[in-house]
A and B are shown apart, each in its own frame.
Chain A
């Protein structure tokens, strides 16, 4: 039996095409995933991301514990509500998961982890806690639903849907969150547009979704979620990196803070590792569609596409690929698609930001 979110019944009522997404019964689209993609870039889309998991860390010493748990530096979080994107590494420097950490106060941090890795992450975090910080309470919040409201009109529609929220979130900067009653509103997202990820009690979710639909928001599924995040140059765990890969070969060096003496799990391995590959953006110059695992041929050897798709905003196929070092943006490579070698250009990513093409 597939796992349900608090919104599964509503998705079916709205006519969603449902799929098994890592054991979860999730909507992949409600009709046309390309229309849903455009709705987010131009207006406002809603995503059920309740399969992801908020985890609350409470107690004295949480900050200290997190300093060594994750590769980015939580000391960057000094004001309540500020958030940080980070990888959590194993001792070999491989990525266990990528996650967002919210600092609420010195005795409460919230971390949101991916759905497919939630069990693994909790087990790891608990083991580390037991070893180094036994007083910390770790509370997975399966009682919460999470809805992402994304697009240039997301804020306006959210404010109409939630009277009183405008005053509290109008000046909320990106990568900051605020608690409003039972709701946790974070100005974060996985689309490259303005918007919020809203964590609310499960039973409040269907009404919240319906209210936003009444304000003109569009229901969007996992299909559009993937094309949006790829245009925005955002990694997908399990596809663009996994436990066998270093963040330094996954385009995530910017999330690893080794500026101070701070020790964290995986630091030693990273410092002694030799980097031989890089994650780059690709745009297909010939007609076709780039997809995961297609071979990439460069002047310095072979690589592989980690994520590929057709970009609805750019009307071209784009991808992230792990290739040898020494290939720079602007250079051409070849991609093997169904026994033919097609031309692609290496580009810096993101490919799209705030609805505009960057490539």
Chain B
């Protein structure tokens, strides 16, 4: 599957979309859901929670393993995706539309530290067995 060029990425397999109002929408990549398998439980952070960059803030569990999701940048959680929490399989069906939470970044410039699609692609290829 092609890695969307309009998104940013982290080395821990989160994707980030910068919205027009500067807020960030965060999910996990297709590669991540593929490794984990069928999702059965997702816990997103509550709105209002303040996160540091790299802080563990969500859990995605498949039948075989639990995996932590990390905040891509520091900020405040403004929304959690209740639909995905109720139907975790949405992440398997379309990882790039099944967002987990929305974040108001502490500093707009922090997004610049994230990987672009090409860099993320290289990362995935280097991890391939």
Contacts and interface: CB of A to CB of B under 8 A. Distances in A.
B92 A32 contact: yes
Given A32-B92, A223-B64, A227-B63, A310 B37 contact: no
Interface of A: 29, 32-34, 223, 227, 287-289, 291, 309-310, 312, 317, 338
A287 B43 contact: yes
Interface in B83-106: 89, 92
Given A32-B92, A338-B66, A289 B61 contact: yes
Given A287-B43, A317-B41, 14 more contacts: A29-B37, A32-B38, A32-B92, A33-B37, A33-B38, A223-B37, A223-B63, A287-B41, A289-B40, A289-B41, A291-B66, A309-B63, A310-B41, A338-B66
Most chain B beta carbons < 10 A, residue from A223, A289, A317 = A289
A227 B62 CA distance: 12
A288 B63 contact: no
A310 B59 contact: no
A338 B59 contact: yes
A355 to B, nearest CB: 19
A149 B77 CA distance: 49
A155 to B, nearest CB: 28
Nearest to A17: B37
A34 B66 contact: no
A339 B59 CA distance: 13
Nearest to A227: B63
Contact of B63 (A33, A287, A338): A33
A314 to B, nearest CB: 11
Interface in B47-72: 59, 61, 63-64, 66
B5 to A, nearest CB: 27
B96 to A, nearest CB: 19
Interface string B91-129: 010000000000000000000000000000000000000
A21 B78 CA distance: 43
A77 B41 CA distance: 45
B41 A34 contact: no
A310 B63 CA distance: 6
A32 B61 CA distance: 15
16 contacts: A29-B37, A32-B37, A32-B38, A32-B92, A33-B38, A34-B40, A34-B63, A287-B43, A288-B41, A289-B41, A289-B63, A291-B66, A309-B63, A310-B61, A317-B40, A338-B66
Contacts of B37: 29, 32-33, 223
A288 B38 contact: no
Which of the listed residues B37, B38, B61, B92 has the most CB atoms from chain A within 10 Å of its own CB?
B38
Contact of A34 (B38, B43, B59, B61): B38
Contacts of A289: 40-41, 61, 63, 66
Contacts of A309: 63
The 7 tightest CB contacts between A and B, nearest first, are A310-B40, A34-B38, A289-B61, A310-B63, A289-B41, A32-B38, A33-B38
A1 to B, nearest CB: 15
